[in-house]
């Protein structure tokens, strides 16, 4: 079903002009085998998957972009819509198929497939629907791209990253969940918006579960290098603990609010995941709060659980977890977040 381009002749009784139009230079050798050819596959051509795919395309992150979905018509329509923009973009090979063979040799596989979170539905309620789906997605992906990095976006992301890890048999550094990368962006936006400063100058992590039990690391927030809480103490500016909790709540509610207003979220998660793709594929070695295997960090010892921690990412995936200082309360909340996730994970039959 997939149209890979360059094999189509121009219409019935078409003109095969390629060899007439360009004459090859003498004794041409094929391209170097070490040529960089970055291939990204996006599984799921819904609002989230397409926002990710389109942002990756605009930001010129891949040489080849593959879309996979179960719905053939929708898939083909989305592929054509991207291909039609060829005159405005760097040349990127764009393919699509319901069959996973088209994903072979992917450097990065981004999985967004899954039921959409309905208004009022918590991420955890989606779980059972999505686990069954992953049993049909992850095995073929790893079969065709045994060296790939899996980047999981579907919700509940922490549990589905664990599921993907188990189903893939991959080492844990090659299975990552988008986690709280976006929550942290919303958090940084709120703080930056209030202070009239660029959001990229606000260092602030939300960690733990991408959901209601996420943990805002207030003790390590800094703006332009100035740690917020100790600054407030030094300036003797009083603040209520409740105020901080309200800000955090506004972040947690952020996604629900967008879903309530427009039916789903797409653009922000698109930028968030494209940002992760860039760090991974271009070996940027930057720290992102993403869902990684948490055992052994911050006192989390029971069971294999994935949740978001500030992780250094690069071409081989997760390079390590940053040793960000957490106070006692934050550590306590993080462990509680881990316990919440662990409990649900244990109910799955993987």
Q: Which residues are catalytic?
A: 210
11-50 binders of a second copy (CB under 8 A):
11-15, 17-18, 20-22, 50
Q: Sketch the per residue contact string, 103 through 142, with a second copy: x for CB under 8 A, - otherwise.
A: ----------------------------------------
**177 vs 270, which CB is nearer to a second copy?**
270
Q: How far is the CB of 238 from a second copy (least distance, A)?
A: 9
Closest C-alpha to 223, from 189, 246, 272: 189
59 binds a second copy (CB under 8 A): yes
Q: Which of 1, 37, 86, 233 binds a second copy (CB under 8 A)?
A: 86
Stretch that binds a second copy, among 113-121, 144-152, 157-165, 196-204 (CB under 8 A): 196-204
H/E stretch holding 8: none
Closest C-alpha to 317, from 275, 345, 349, 279: 279
Residue 8 CA to chain centroid, in angstroms?
34
- Angle at which helices 47-58 and 72-83 cross, to 10°: 20
Q: How far is the CB of 243 from a second copy (least distance, A)?
A: 5
Q: How far is the CB of 58 from a second copy (least distance, A)?
A: 5
Q: How far is the CB of 35 from a second copy (least distance, A)?
A: 16
231 binds a second copy (CB under 8 A): yes
CA distances (Å), origin 190, targets 13, 29, 150, 236: 59, 55, 30, 23
How far is the C-alpha of 6 from the C-alpha of 268, rounded, in Å?
34
Q: Which of 104, 195, 324, 339 binds a second copy (CB under 8 A)?
A: 195
Does 155 count as an annotated binding residue?
yes
Q: How far is the CB of 43 from a second copy (least distance, A)?
A: 17
| Helix, strand, coil fractions of the chain, as percent rounded to 5 | 45, 15, 40
347 DSSP assignment: T
Structure tokens at 315: 């071409």
How far is the C-alpha of 305 from the C-alpha of 45, rounded, in Å?
28
**248 vs 333, which CB is nearer to a second copy?**
248
Does 130 count as an annotated binding residue?
yes
196 binds a second copy (CB under 8 A): yes
**17 vs 350, which CB is nearer to a second copy?**
17
145 binds a second copy (CB under 8 A): no
Structure tokens at 272: 């968030």
290-349 binders of a second copy (CB under 8 A):
none
CA distances (Å), origin 273, targets 57, 68, 129, 179: 12, 17, 23, 10
239-298 binders of a second copy (CB under 8 A):
239-240, 242-243, 246-247, 250, 254, 257-263, 265-268, 270-272, 274-275
Does 69 count as an annotated binding residue?
yes
CA distances (Å), origin 328, targets 99, 217, 246, 279, 299: 49, 11, 20, 31, 11
Cβ-contact 201, 226 below 8 angstroms: no
Binding residues for NAD(+): 44-49, 69, 130, 153-155
């Amino acid at each position: 079903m997939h149209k890979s381009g360059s094999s189509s002749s121009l219409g019935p009784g078409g003109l095969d002009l390629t060899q007439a139009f360009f004459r090859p230079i003498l004794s041409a050798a094929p391209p170097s085998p070490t040529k960089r050819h970055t291939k990204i596959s996006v599984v799921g051509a819904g609002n989230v998957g397409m926002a990710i795919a389109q942002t990756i395309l605009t930001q010129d992150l891949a040489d080849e972009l593959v879309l996979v979905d179960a719905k053939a018509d929708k898939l083909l329509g989305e592929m054509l819509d991207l291909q039609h923009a060829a005159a405005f973009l760097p040349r990127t090979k764009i393919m699509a198929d319901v069959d996973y063979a088209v994903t072979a040799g992917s450097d990065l596989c981004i999985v967004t497939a899954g039921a959409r979170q309905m208004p009022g539905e918590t991420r955890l309620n989606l779980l059972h629907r999505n686990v069954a789906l992953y049993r049909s997605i992850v095995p073929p992906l790893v079969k065709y791209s045994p060296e790939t990095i899996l980047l999981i976006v579907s919700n509940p992301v922490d549990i589905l990253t664990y599921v993907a890890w188990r189903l893939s048999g991959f080492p844990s550094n090659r299975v990552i969940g988008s986690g709280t990368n976006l929550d942290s962006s919303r958090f940084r936006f709120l703080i930056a918006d209030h202070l009239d400063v660029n959001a990229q100058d606000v260092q602030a992590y939300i960690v733990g579960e991408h959901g209601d039990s996420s943990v805002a690391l207030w003790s390590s927030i800094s703006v332009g290098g100035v740690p917020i809480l100790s600054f407030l103490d030094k300036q003797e500016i009083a603040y209520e603990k409740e105020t901080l909790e309200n800000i955090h709540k506004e972040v947690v509610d952020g996604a629900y609010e967008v879903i309530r207003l427009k039916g789903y979220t797409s653009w922000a998660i698109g930028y968030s995941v494209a940002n992760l793709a860039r760090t991974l594929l271009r070996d940027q070695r930057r720290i992102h709060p993403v869902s990684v295997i948490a055992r052994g960090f911050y006192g989390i010892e029971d069971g294999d659980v994935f949740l978001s921690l500030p992780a250094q990412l690069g071409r081989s995936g997760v390079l390590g977890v940053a040793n960000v200082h957490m106070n006692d309360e934050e550590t306590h909340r993080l462990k509680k977040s881990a316990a919440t996730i662990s409990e649900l994970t244990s109910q799955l039959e993987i």
